[in-house]
Structure 1
Amino acid sequence: MDLKEKIELLGNLRAFLEEKPAVLKEGIRLAGEHNKWFTEDNVNRSLGHIAQKFLNEDALLKWTDSFKDKIPNEKPSKKLALIMAGNIPLVGFHDFLAGFIANYTSVIKMSSKDKFLWPIINDFLKSQNSEIADYIHFSERISSPDAIIATGDDNTHRYFEYYFSKYPHILRKNRNSVAFLDGTESDEQLKLLSDDVFTYFGLGCRNITNVLIPEDYDVTKLLDIWEDKYKLSQHTGYLNNFDYHRSLLLLSKREHLVSDFLILYEDASLSSPVSCLHYQKYKNIEHGIEMLNNFKDGIQCIAGENEILREKKLAISFGKTQFPELDDYADGQNTLEFLIKNH
């Protein structure tokens, strides 16, 4: 397939995801039965984002423009191993997309948490173009790839490095995202921030798990403004996490703030458990930026409206962390460039 044919095929996939025929609806149902965190709303949100941001023809043409003369058109001869995470639905779709555009055969090791949606996408693509069989394979074992992209936590990252560092690779481990507040935010902006915190129950690397605030900031206002997220407490898994972590904090007599569905407490750790949100205080803007720089290797993205951060292009607007564009690469590593370079 040449690039034009690939983009046309991806356009067909976009229509499939947006129309949600019966086979896809059944896959959404099965995904939710198998994984309690894959609610219908969350799966639909992920599919919608993929369709709108990753499968948009104009966006794909712009994304591939500087590489179009370097992409082979013949049958793929190189094998890309993709080890998928399972924290949110189809979280590795961008990696697959880069491999497809760069003309690799993607050997996909699906997460056990997300094993229903990928085969449906594969079957649809095959129904549109039989050549897709050269581009997508599923396997539980990874053997002698030409390149590998693997996503996991800090523990699996050590495994990845041991077994796969001899191949051209992108090996990802835990990252989290941070919000920067300076006290000038409107209530509406803070409501948008709640989407960055709670979408996908906070399980994504682009979810906000730590908030930097001025020393005199009244953090209780977040609990009040975010009250409309109360339905989170109706989810059994989320509520179990809430009860468990609240009990730990009470037993340890650790100071914290609490609503019906969220626990707020001061902590320097970037990662916070489901149902919890950490915050840290800074003395002034310069001190806050210094704190961000100290954490840069563990940060996926920063949300904030502060003028200095925006001028330095360090932050994105509230409400947008879960809607990355094609060129918003995980860990800042350009996967398409990496794959074309190593073809």
Structure 2
Amino acid sequence: MSSIEKVAALVRLGQYLSGDDPALQAVKDRAFQANGWFTHEFIDLSLQNICRYYLDETRLNSWLAGYPAPAVNPRSVGIVAAGNIPLVGFHDWLCGFLSGHQVRLKLSTKDVVLMQHVIDKISEWYPQYAKQTLVQEMLKNCDAYIATGSNNSARYFEYYFAQYPHIIRRNRTSVAILDGTETAEELEALADDVMLYFGLGCRNVTKIFVPDEYNFEALIKGLRKYTYLADHHKYKNNYDYNLALILLNSGLYMANDNIILQESASLFSPLSVLHYSHYADKKVLTEELKANNDLQCIVGHGFTPFGTAQQPSLSDFADGVDTMQFLTSL
């Protein structure tokens, strides 16, 4: 298949994923049954963003223009996909598909249903593509690897894949810098960055930096946008557990019904907790954060706009490593 044909196939996929086909609705139901974190709301949001930012014909053609033509002599590329949010491995698969290489995909047990359905639909519509993506449990003897996991699993990936071209991704998170001039609308948009997908994504804000003497009242009010998440039993269990730990340790905190704010130096926070720290000099803070390899993105004035952290473009690569450049250079 040529790039033109593949783009057409992806555009068709976008039309399908943005529609209301009964088969797709049944898959959403099965995905939620298999993983209680994949609510219909967040599955729909993920599909909406994929269709808008990844499967738009104009965006795809403009993005592809910056890379060489698909491989004439395809290699086999093993991709170990994550599963923290719905279809989080889609972008890696998309890059593999468009690069022309054979994709050997190990799906996360948390996100088998949705990814498998996407692959099956493309294979159904375009039988000539069916062998380009193979879903496998073991990824042996590939020519290159892309693996996403925790800091712990990354050590094993580095060991096993050291002799092959590879991209190894580790734990990452996102932060926000507030300056105290944010409007109520911006703080509600920040709530999206914090709370969408229950905060499970690497682009979710897990820590905020605020000026000295910052008044948290408006922020806490903005975060109430997601009070209804307290009705989700898995999320509520985390909230109750983390609040109990803070109380047992006589820790200081602020809270509403859906999130706990706790002062901490750590960029990473437990589920249902948002860390915060004060800063004196925004310029110094910015330089420190930009040099931190644990960060996926920074939200705030002059950075990623409030409310858009979970709307990555085709060029917003995980860990800042250009996946398409890696694949087209094999």
Shorter-chain TM-score range? over 0.9
Q: Which deviations, in whole Å up to 9, do the C-alpha atoms of 1:209-234 show, x marking residues without a partner?
A: 00011011112331122222110100
Structure 1 residue 287 displacement after superposition: 3.2
- Structure 2 partner of 1:300: 296
Does the CA contact (< 8 Å) of 1:220 and 1:257 recur in 2?
Answer: no
- Structure 1 partner of 2:204: 207
The aligned runs of 1:122-137 (5 Å cut-off) are: 122-137=119-134
- Structure 1 partner of 2:190: 193
Structure 1 residue 183 displacement after superposition: 0.9
- Structure 2 partner of 1:333: 321
Q: Does 1:157 align with 2:145?
A: no
Structure 1 residue 154 displacement after superposition: 1.0
Structure 1: stretches of 5+ with no match in the other structure: none
- Structure 1 partner of 2:15: 15
Structure 2: stretches of 5+ with no match in the other structure: none
Structure 1 residue 259 displacement after superposition: 1.0
For 1:275, give the aligned amino acid.
Answer: S
Does the CA contact (< 8 Å) of 2:176 and 2:205 recur in 1?
Answer: yes
Does the CA contact (< 8 Å) of 1:23 and 1:120 recur in 2?
Answer: no
What percentage of aligned pairs have identical amino acids?
39
CA–CA separation in structure 1 for the residues paired with 2:146 and 2:327: 10
Structure 1 residue 169 displacement after superposition: 0.6
Normalised TM-score (structure 1): 0.94
Q: Does 1:247 align with 2:235?
A: no
SS in 2 for 1:297: coil
- Structure 2 partner of 1:324: 312
Q: Which deviations, in whole Å up to 9, do the C-alpha atoms of 1:225-262 show, x marking residues without a partner?
A: 22221101000011000000000000000111111111
SS in 1 for 2:110: coil
> Which stretch has the larger CA shift, 275-284 or 221-230?
221-230
Normalised TM-score (structure 2): 0.97
Structure 1 residue 127 displacement after superposition: 1.9
- Structure 2 partner of 1:71: 70
- Structure 2 partner of 1:286: 283
Structure 1 residue 284 displacement after superposition: 2.0
- Structure 2 partner of 1:109: 106
Structure 1 residue 66 displacement after superposition: 2.3
CA RMSD, aligned part only?
1.2
TM-aligned CA distance change 1:244 to 1:263, over 3 Å: same
CA–CA separation in structure 2 for the residues paired with 1:90 and 1:290: 33
CA–CA separation in structure 1 for the residues paired with 2:267 and 2:61: 36
CA–CA separation in structure 1 for the residues paired with 2:192 and 2:108: 25
> Which stretch has the larger CA shift, 161-170 or 221-230?
221-230
Q: Does 1:81 align with 2:78?
A: yes
CA–CA separation in structure 2 for the residues paired with 1:40 and 1:59: 27
- Structure 2 partner of 1:53: 53
CA–CA separation in structure 1 for the residues paired with 2:290 and 2:63: 29
Q: Which deviations, in whole Å up to 9, do the C-alpha atoms of 1:9-58 show, x marking residues without a partner?
A: 11110111011311111111011011110000111111111111101000
Structure 1 residue 206 displacement after superposition: 0.1
Does the CA contact (< 8 Å) of 1:54 and 1:326 recur in 2?
Answer: yes
Structure 1 residue 290 displacement after superposition: 3.8
Q: Does 1:37 align with 2:8?
A: no
Structure 1 residue 165 displacement after superposition: 1.9
- Number of equivalenced pairs: 330
4+ residue runs over 4 A deviation = none
Does the CA contact (< 8 Å) of 1:6 and 1:101 recur in 2?
Answer: yes
CA–CA separation in structure 2 for the residues paired with 1:183 and 1:325: 28
